[in-house]
Each structure stands twice: as structure tokens, then as C-alpha cells.
Structure 1
């Protein structure tokens, strides 16, 4: 089975799509695909479809959706299958399980590559980290489950997936800063900061990339823009770490030229 959720939903059995066109069965398949190999309680699937307003007919309707998915699976398996649709979409322990191997999912592959890249960054191998983290991010083809209606269950799943994507992205940028790619990531960081104007870690990385590219005034301008936004929107000042980075840039601190990451993409000596 092939499962892709880091973009439009794609689930194939023997090369044939089993994704239904109707919205609710598609939601059910998406929940099962994200938890492939694990039993998903029927109550979880009902919550995804109906939220807190679950009708009396929910159990029967859910069974109908499962039957529709099994028909799609049976068609994909062909006339002489080595296993039945009920062995692919299994009824078990008050719920359902989509039988698939861990390697079948792009989400699991993303998690593996991201974890390996993070570990490489921790041990100081920035080149390996940049490659692994870039490979992980390359698995995304757009917004996760972009063509699937989203209920309460998938909504929480998507929040976690986007947070993991952003964490991986920040680590990849940190690795790029560590190996001297500061000029090449300025444009990317500008777009990210425009999208997330109050995310200090991204602003710090942009400041450092600009500073190392010889644009000290632009780096300082980025800090002032963040400060104005935080004061106006939340009534707070930037964090002490970011203010320290700003102060060191004003002082022309030589340690900022060293490609040694430590949180926020800032050299380790910054927090010393």
C-alpha cells in the first residue's frame, strides 16, 4: 500500500487509488491512513464526522462508509487477491485498522528523516543535517490533506503535523546558517517572517543571515519591526535572547560571524 498525506490525500493498493470522491468517506480514510497499522476506535471516527452532535444512526452510517471503502479496496485488489478487503481494512476491538507497513507512509518517512536530521544537528554535523532535513521537507507537496474535509480529529492532527514541519524547517535553516549558506536563505526567511511576523526564532535567523551577508542595517530593521509588532499587538518586548542578539549586532560582535548554531540559529557564544 502507498499512503501520502503530506499534500492531497493519496492511498493506493496495488497501484490503484482507493480514495473515495465523497467527503465523509474520504475523512474516514484520512483518519485511518494517518494511523495506519493501529486500531482507530469507532468513536474517534464518529467524532471526526459529526463532532459532538453524533446522531443515533451514526454507527450504521459509519458501517456504510467502511463498506464503501472496502469496495474500493476490493476493486484495487483485483479478481484473484492474495488477501481480502476485510484483511486490508480490518474490524478490530471496537474500531478499524488500515493494514499497512510503516514504510508505506510519507508521514512516517518524514518523521524518520526529520529525526535523523535533528540528531545530526545535535552532534554538530550540519552538512548531514541540512541534507536530511531538506529531504524530509521535500516529501511535502503542499498543505497536508489539502483535499480532505477536516473535522475535530483531523484538525488536531494537522496542527501537530504543521508544527513538526515548521520545527524541521527551522532546524534546516539553522544547519544552512552553520555551513555558511546565509546569503542563499535570506529570501526564504523574508517570506517566512512575512507569514509568521511574531515568531522570534525565524526573525533571529533572518537577522543573522542578513548580518552575515553584510546587511547589518537590515538585520537591525528586522528586530525593530518585530519589536513594534509585539508591543502593538501584545504589549510585550522581544525576548532577552533576541535583545542580546540585537545588542551584539549593534556592537559588531565578532562571534556572530562564526557558523556555530545554538537555538534560534544564533552562535553558542551569544548565550554565554
Structure 2
């Protein structure tokens, strides 16, 4: 089971153990994809988020390499899905702390 944390430092855990994302760019990619989890992001949008106006000419190819590395780090190739419109990170119910927080607040608001 994966757990994603964005309330505080961005963290990923697999079976309670931290997932080592190794580089700042993998952390950035994970952060960006968590912001739009389950919704595809175009390669152009990801490149913009990763490099901004300083994107190298090889940015799209480099993005593919980072996507591959992130899939390996997560330990499940099915978590990052390629869609015709881009890439989407699959986050299951209960895996993202901000979703859990929102759910809890909503339940408490109606009690």
C-alpha cells in the first residue's frame, strides 16, 4: 500500500517505509502529479511545471525518463498511467493525507 503526504513535506511511503525519490526533480514531479491526482496532465503542462521557461530542448524526453524512474520508485508501473492527453497518477481512497483531512472535516461538519 502506498501513502502520500502533502500536508507538510511531500512524502511517499510504501508499507510504512519511506520511498526514496533520490532527486529534487523526482520530488517536483511527484508533487505536481499529486496536485492533479487521477486527472491527466499533458506533457507540456508537466514540462512547464518541472522547468518553467528554462526547459531544455530535450525536456519531453527527459520527462519520460523521470516518469519511468518515478514508476520504479513507487514499485507499481500501473500507478502512473499514460493517457492520450498526458499522464495521470493513480491515488486510491485513503492514500493521500489531504484527501483524508478533507473527508474528516466534512464528516465532522455534519455531525
Q: Does residue 98 of structure 1 match 2:89?
A: yes
Structure in which a larger fraction of residues adopt helix:
1
Structure showing greater relative contact order (alpha-carbon pairs closer than 8 Å, 6 or more residues apart): 2
Partners of 2:74 and 2:15 lie apart in 1 by 10
Larger Rg: 1
Q: TM-score, normalised by structure 1?
A: 0.37
Q: TM-score, normalised by structure 2?
A: 0.81
Where does 1:61-100 land on structure 2 (aligned, <5 Å)? 61-74=62-75, 85-100=76-91
Partners of 2:19 and 2:46 lie apart in 1 by 18
Aligned to 1:37: 38
Q: How large is the Cα RMSD of the aligned pairs? A: 2.0
Where does 1:92-171 land on structure 2 (aligned, <5 Å)? 92-117=83-108, 119-120=109-110
Contact 1:9–1:19 under 8 Å retained in 2: no
Aligned to 1:142: none
Partners of 1:112 and 1:71 lie apart in 2 by 30
How far did residue 19 of structure 1 move? 4.1
Partners of 1:39 and 1:46 lie apart in 2 by 14
Structure in which a larger fraction of residues adopt strand:
2
Aligned to 1:210: none
Aligned length: 110
Structure 2 unaligned runs (5+)? none
